[in-house]
Structure 1
C-alpha cells in the first residue's frame, strides 16, 4: 500500500512531463511539414519547452517527485535501451586507418573540449557534457553521460540547447566548406560523419555532395556513435573512483558501484546486438522506445531548470561549444586528408 501511494505521488509530475513531451513532438512534426526537415529535434524542443514552462510558472511541491523521477529514472531506462541500437559490426566497414582516425578524433576532442571548458571556468560536468556532445552524437551523448556523472539539470539544459543550435550551423555550412576545400565526395562525406552530431543531419549535410558522400558519412557517423559505449563506461568508472576517494566509507566491492545497472544493461544490449543475438525486428522498437523515453526525460529535466540560469552561462558556453567544434573540425580534416591519401 505504501508503494502504491508513492507511485501515485509521481503522477502529477510525470503527467506534466508527458504533456511537455507530446507538445514537443507535435512541434517537431510541424517543423517537418512546414520546412521538409527537422532542424530542432523533439529532444531539444522538450528541454527548451520544459525550461520555458519552469521559468514562467513554478510547479508546486506535488509535482516535484514525479518530475525528479522522470528526469532521472526514465532517463536511465532510455540510456539502457539505447545500447540495443548500437552494433560493433559497422566497424568492419570502416577499415583500420579510418577506424583509428575516428577513435583518435573522438578522444582528442573530448579531452581538449573539457580543457577548453575548464579554461573558460565552466563547471567541470558541463564541460564534460559539451565535449562528449560535440565529439560523439550531440544530444544523445549528453543524455547518456548526464546520469553517469550526476550532472546538474542546468548544465544539461545549457549543453543541449547550445550544442543543438551550433550543430545546425555546422549542417548548413559543411557542404560549402567541403567545396571550398576541394574535397571529393568521399572526403566530404567523411568530414560530415566526423563533425555532424546526428545521423539524420549527416544525411542533410552530405546530401548535396551526392550518394557516395551520404554512404561514407553514414558509416563514419555510426562508428562515431559506437564510441558512446566505451566513453559512457569510462566516465562511469571515473566518477565512481572519484566518489570512493571522497568518501572512504563507500563500499569498494560490487560491479554496480562502478557501473550502474543501467550502464550494464546498455553494454549487455550492445553486445547482444553486435554478435547478432538481438533480432533486427527488435532494434527499431528499441530505438523508438529509447527516443521517446529520452524526450519525456528531457521534458522532466527542463521542468527543473530556470531559463535565467541558462542565459547567465550563455557566452561562456557558446565560446566552449564553438572552440570545441573548431577543434573537432580540424581533427576531422586531418583524418580526411590521411584516409583519402592512404
Structure 2
C-alpha cells in the first residue's frame, strides 16, 4: 500500500521515505524538465511562449498518464510532488507578495469573494438536483467547484456522510475539468483584454485548486499570480464556515444515493467539527508578513522565486500524471453537465464581480 507522505514523516524516517518517493519524484521532475524544454522550443520557433512551462507540465503529464499508467512504485513520489513540493513552492511564493499587493485587494474585493462563494455553492447544488443527481453528490460538486476542488470534496465528504463512489466520481471529473480551466482561462483573459490585476482576480475565483492558480495566472505575469493566489486563499479559508454550516444541515439531507460506505480514506473524522487552515497557507501568510517587514534579505528573494518556479513545474507535472482523460467518460453525463454548468456560473459571477469593482 502506497504511503501518504508529509514533510514531518520524511524527517522522522528519511532513508525509508526517500526510497519510497524517489521514483515518482524523478518521473515528475523528468516531465517537468520536458515542459521547460518545450517552453524554450516555443521561444525558438515562435519568438514567444504560447503555453507556459507550468501548463505544458500538466499537459505532458496528462498525456503520459492517459497513454501509460505509472506503476505503484511511482505513486508515493507523485503524491509527494503534487502535495508537499507544491506546498513548499507556495510558501516560497509568499516572499514575492508585498504589503502593497495586499492593500490593493481592498475590502470591496474581499466582500465580493465571499459573496461569490456564498452564491456558487447553493447555486451549484440546485443545478445538480435539477439534473437528477443525489443530494450529497450535488453538494460535493458544489463545494469542489465553489471552494477548492478535491480538498473541499475530501473535507466535506465525511461531514455529509457522502458515499465513496460519489466522492471518487466528483474528484475524478474535477481533476480533469480543472486542467481544462487552467488551459482555457488565459485565452478568455486575452479575448476580454483583462489587465493583470483583474485577470488574477478571475483566476483566483474560478480555478479549483491553489496550485493550479499558479499555472492559470502565469501567462499574465507575477502580479496576476500574486493576486490570483490571494483571492484563491480567501476562497480556501471559506471551507471552515461552509463545513460548519453543512455539518448542521447534513441531518436534513435526503437519503437517496446514500450507501453509508466508509469514507475514512477521504478525510479523517476530526475534520467534521474542527477546521484548521493547512500549514502551507499559514506559511504563505507568514512569508507575506516577513516580506512586509523587510525581514527577508534582498539577496535571497531571487533564489526563492527561482526555487518556487522549479518546484511548481515539478508539482504541475505530478498533477498532470494523476489525470486520466478517460475519467470524463466514466463520470457520467449528469455529473459532466453539473460540473460544467457550475463552472459557467462561477465564471459569470466572477466577471460580474470584476464589473462591480471596475473591471
> Structure 2 length as normaliser, TM-score?
0.65
CA 1:56–1:123 in structure 2 vs 1: closer, same or farther (change >3 Å)?
Answer: farther
Q: C-alpha displacement at 1:250, in angstroms?
A: 4.2
- Per-residue CA deviation, residues 131-160 of structure 1 (Å, 9 max, x unaligned), is 458xxxxxxxx7998998899763563243
1:329 has 2:358 as partner? no
Q: Is the 8 A contact 1:110 1:131 kept in 2?
A: yes
Give 1:43's match in structure 2, choosing from 34, 45, 54.
54
CA 1:14–1:165 in structure 2 vs 1: closer, same or farther (change >3 Å)?
Answer: closer
Equivalent in the alignment of 1:269:
287
- Per-residue CA deviation, residues 217-270 of structure 1 (Å, 9 max, x unaligned), is x97885554334444444368669989x999974999x9x72343332222112
Q: Is the 8 A contact 1:20 1:49 kept in 2?
A: yes
Distance 1:196 1:230 in 2: 13
Q: C-alpha displacement at 1:273, in angstroms?
A: 1.4
Distance 1:36 1:296 in 2: 24
Distance 1:60 1:29 in 2: 30
- Per-residue CA deviation, residues 188-240 of structure 1 (Å, 9 max, x unaligned), is 7875565466655447xxxxxxxxxxxxxx97885554334444444368669
Q: Is the 8 A contact 1:118 1:124 kept in 2?
A: yes
Q: What is the root-mean-square deviation of aligned Cα atoms in Å? A: 4.2
Give 2:187's match in structure 1, choosing from 164, 169, 178.
169
Distance 2:197 2:75 in 1: 45
Point out the more displaced range, 61-70 or 282-291: 282-291
Equivalent in the alignment of 1:210:
none
3-state SS of 1:258 partner: coil
Q: Is the 8 A contact 2:58 2:319 kept in 1?
A: yes
1:114 has 2:118 as partner? no
Matches within 5 A, 1:53-92: 53-92=64-103
1:287 has 2:291 as partner? no
- Per-residue CA deviation, residues 115-138 of structure 1 (Å, 9 max, x unaligned), is 4433343765654454458xxxxx
Q: C-alpha displacement at 1:309, in angstroms?
A: 0.9
3-state SS of 1:306 partner: coil
Distance 1:251 1:167 in 2: 32
3-state SS of 2:294 partner: coil
> Structure 1 length as normaliser, TM-score?
0.68
Q: Is the 8 A contact 1:229 1:267 kept in 2?
A: no
Distance 1:219 1:48 in 2: 24
Equivalent in the alignment of 2:239:
235
Distance 2:43 2:297 in 1: 30
The answer for unaligned runs of 5 or more in structure 2 is 1-11, 129-136, 158-166, 205-215, 251-263
Q: C-alpha displacement at 1:3, in angstroms?
A: 4.3
CA 1:251–1:46 in structure 2 vs 1: closer, same or farther (change >3 Å)?
Answer: closer
Count of paired positions: 297
Q: Is the 8 A contact 1:240 1:258 kept in 2?
A: no
Task: Compare the two structures and name the one with the higher helix fraction.
Answer: 1
Equivalent in the alignment of 1:101:
108
The answer for unaligned runs of 5 or more in structure 1 is 134-141, 179-187, 204-217, 338-342
Equivalent in the alignment of 1:308:
326
Point out the more displaced range, 154-163 or 327-336: 154-163
Equivalent in the alignment of 1:297:
315
Q: Is the 8 A contact 2:174 2:339 kept in 1?
A: no
Distance 1:252 1:321 in 2: 26
Distance 1:72 1:84 in 2: 19
